[in-house]
Amino acid sequence: MTNGPSTALVQAGTIRPEDFGNHITRRLSSMKGQYLDQTAYERMLGQEDSLLYEVYELLRPEKEGELLSGLSIVHPGKVGNEYFMTKGHFHEVLETAEIYLCLSGRGMMVMETPEGDWSVKELTPGVSLYVPPRWAHRSVNTGASEDLVTYFIYPAHAGHDYGTIETRGFRKLVTEGADGPQIIDNPKWVEAAV
């Protein structure tokens, strides 16, 4: 695991940790109820409160017209057969979009709307991904040993709504299958529809 932005990026002179005004860390304990295999989650949490991901933000005033940007670093690992992922969120200002650029690693972006539309897009180095307004989004690291590092930019006044996702998670989950990552239905959503 790394303790900051990817060493290669820092050495290239493109990213300096001291440039970031805010460093957010998310550990396994902050993901209660988000992983499908709760037995594996509790067992893993009992051993160590693993660092799942970090966010480095270049702070700007949280007002319309400003853009907030930074790095998201999702470390490799799994809870059961489900990959390490971010908490995921809608924007508080629902009609705001976000752009991600994958700098290194491999992963997927899981997205959905309040109305039930969903999409999962692959993230590989150089891929730019547009998350439209009204779409919740979550980054998933599907790599075996490498951090998933993405650069993001969004309107500084957009805010984050984590609460909606914390209730039942996303409609789709990314798990390890026999042939690699697979997208499955989240049983919490299927049960609620019955």
Joined tokens for residue 69 = 């940007």
What digits encode the pLDDT tens for the residues 183-193? Answer: 999 998 865 55
Confidence category of residue 15, pLDDT binned at 50, 70, 90: low
CA distance 26 to 100: 19
What digits encode the pLDDT tens for the residues 156-177? Answer: 999 999 998 888 889 999 999 9
Q: What is the set of domains in the chain, with CATH numbers?
A: 7-193 (2.60.120.10)
Lowest average pLDDT, out of 18-22, 134-138, 159-163, goes to: 18-22
What digits encode the pLDDT tens for the residues 112-130? Answer: 999 999 999 999 999 999 9
Q: Where on the phi/psi map is residue 101: left (φ > 0), alpha (ψ -120 to 50), or beta?
A: beta
What pLDDT score does 8 carry? 45
Instruction: Give the chain's mean pLDDT.
Output: 89
Joined tokens for residue 109 = 């972006």
What pLDDT score does 2 carry? 44
* Mean pLDDT on 69-87: 96
